[in-house]
Structure 1
Amino acid sequence: MSSQTTGAAPVTAVPAWFSAAVATPYHRHDVDVAGARIAYRTWGEPGMPVVVLVHGGAAHAGWWDHVAPFLAASHRVAAIDLSGHGDSQWRRQYDLATFAEEVMAVAAAETPSGGAQDGVLPVVIGHSMGGFVSLTAARDHGSRLAGACAIDSPVRQMSPETRAWKESGRHLPGNKVYPSWDEIVRRFRTLPPDDATLPYVREHVAAGSVREVEGGWTWKFDPHVFLSAQMEPAEVAETDCPTALVRGERGMATTDITTTVAERLGGHVPVTVVPDAGHHIMLDQPVALVAALQVLLGEWSRH
């Protein structure tokens, strides 16, 4: 990573690979799941094996904009906005099983044959709370999946987004309204905070995290999602599809957590540790994450 000195603080140069990735065109789609409109975006050609990317709590599909294009050479990549997030509709209540149904509906919409393209089933990959969703999808729908991966998902702990929200003292049901787009985007922070987050990635995901409302701008997510953003070890079970775990060296999914989850999944689960990465691996070590996911997708597609 290079930087330019301005005389005050170093300014991180935006690498060409990132600029090219976020400039890659994608298509927007909607699918109805249990009465809610679920938005998602796609890269890659229809007819290729499908992979569904699932964001974490309070995040959105745009967190994958700089990752998805690198998976699209061999896959039809779909990044979902779970209900209560991004551009999808809100629900009166949320749970991991419903989120998993949303993911499977997106996978089915991109595999019109009913779950497989040329005999290859879809893959689900989720980060943080999205990893809980991926593991739930594998548990409940494993026979319809080629594989499921959880990225730094702290099973048996309160998700970092939920913990920070509860500790902030902010009250349900609404998000604060800020007078300008500039002000709210400046206030964007990852939870937990991490100084290693690449500024150009953070700026991109921050810009997609807000919406205009009467009186100014607010966050897109429904704060009620934090009430159902936890997964206990007892909810993890062996699956009918291969599973894998990825964690950051400084992440929330510590060694004891991944060991417990791997044992619950049957023991034969590869665990990849991304060096010098915190909880938000796609924000601080995206190239390493892309490489790890390409290996998984290649292996699962081959089988």
Structure 2
Amino acid sequence: MISQRFSIGPVGEEIAMIQWGERGKPPALLVHGTGFVADVWDEVARELASTYTVYALDRRGHGASHKPGTYHFLDFAEDVYRVIDALGLRDVYGIGHSAGATDLLLATKLLPGRFTRLFVMEPTIMDPRAVRSEGLSEESLLQVQGALRRRAEFDSPDAVFERYRTSPTFADWTETSLWAYVRHGFVPLDDGRVRLCCTPEIEAAMLRPIYEAMTQVYVGDARGNPFTALAEIDCPVRVTTTAKSWPVYKEMAARAVALIPHVSTLVFEGAGHCVAQEVPAAVVEAVREFAR
């Protein structure tokens, strides 16, 4: 199946997109997590394209999308709004992973009535009813700053693949998914080397609000705390977790279940946090089952 690449928005504010399948089918919108790109959905998207017109975007700061320097939760949700509005999508099946799942959940307030259902895998969630005031702990700050030590440049795509193949984050990814990330998550340099599109500095800027949400200290910006809107979601939502992921993801999923009105749950056994890249067939089956 041939996928199509395009972008929406003016120069300097582009959101890079991929479409799988022909137009005219019900739309499904896939949103990746922090550090990745739209292409990591390829195995899932190709299967879903028999039923849906499948779209995925590079979130701001990632891939070929704009990198404006502002990475609050509502910034990403507003980008989802821009995509759906520009494409004129209705009755959207939103499918998201990690912080990308959060983008979809928060976008429902900006786009009331436009989603038919949401399938969210380990979203980043805080409970706005239990905000703590002490700010990020030293341990969390070290985790955020750790992103700055991430290696940004490699000699070649092959060198990236060999390095990442043994990394705990990517060890269980399918070969297809990992190559999709390597090919599209890096930009070629003039000397033949490649560099991360989502640089260590960008990733660290994104991780700060994520860790603030994880630890219940996120207060938002001038627009307020966006997580209060979760109680107003009016479409069915399935919140999923995985057996092998960190406990904090299960904790945040429990917060989501407590906040969202029309919610159900699912656990992927034998998989880790990046479930769609580890067991794409299981994700496709679960997505289809929820639609039924």
Fold-level similarity (TM above 0.5): yes
Aligned residue identity for 1:124: G
Q: TM-score, normalised by structure 1?
A: 0.76
- Which residue of structure 2 aligns with residue 130 of structure 1? 100
- Which residue of structure 2 aligns with residue 270 of structure 1? 264
Q: TM-score, normalised by structure 2?
A: 0.78
Secondary structure of the 1:52 match is strand
- Which residue of structure 2 aligns with residue 46 of structure 1? 23
Unaligned ranges ≥5, structure 2: 128-135, 217-224
How far did 1:142 drift? 3.5
CA distance in 1, matches of 2:101, 2:240: 10
- Which residue of structure 2 aligns with residue 167 of structure 1? 146
Q: Name which of structure 1's ranges 128-137 and 93-102 shifts more when overlaid on structure 2.
A: 93-102
- Which residue of structure 1 aligns with residue 205 of structure 2? 227
Query: What number of residue pairs does the alignment pair up?
Result: 261
- Which residue of structure 2 aligns with residue 83 of structure 1? 60
CA distance in 1, matches of 2:187, 2:102: 26
CA distance in 2, matches of 1:240, 1:163: 38
- Which residue of structure 2 aligns with residue 109 of structure 1? 86
**Distance of aligned partners of 1:56 and 1:189 in 2 relative to their CA distance in 1, 3 Å threshold:** farther
CA distance in 2, matches of 1:57, 1:189: 19
How far did 1:163 drift? 7.5
Matches for 1:1-303 after TM superposition, within 5 Å: 24-32=1-9, 36-111=13-88, 115-116=89-90, 121-156=91-126, 166-167=145-146, 170=149, 176-188=152-164, 193=169, 195-215=171-191, 216-222=193-199, 223-229=201-207, 230=210, 231=213, 235=227, 237-238=230-231, 239-252=233-246, 254-266=249-261, 268-296=262-290, 298-299=291-292
**Distance of aligned partners of 1:226 and 1:83 in 2 relative to their CA distance in 1, 3 Å threshold:** same
How far did 1:192 drift? 5.7
The alignment's C-alpha RMSD in Å is 2.9
Q: Name which of structure 1's ranges 77-86 and 205-214 shifts more when overlaid on structure 2.
A: 205-214
How far did 1:123 drift? 2.2
Asked whether the equivalents of residues 46 and 110 of structure 1 are also in contact (C-alpha less than 8 Å), the reply is no
**Distance of aligned partners of 1:209 and 1:242 in 2 relative to their CA distance in 1, 3 Å threshold:** same
Residues 105-149 of structure 1, C-alpha deviation per residue, up to 9 Å, x if partnerless?
2223333xxx42xxxx11221111111211211243343221222
Secondary structure of the 2:33 match is coil
CA distance in 1, matches of 2:286, 2:84: 21
**Distance of aligned partners of 1:169 and 1:93 in 2 relative to their CA distance in 1, 3 Å threshold:** closer
CA distance in 2, matches of 1:192, 1:255: 19
Aligned residue identity for 2:122: D
Residues 257-298 of structure 1, C-alpha deviation per residue, up to 9 Å, x if partnerless?
3222111112x41111111010010122111111011122x3
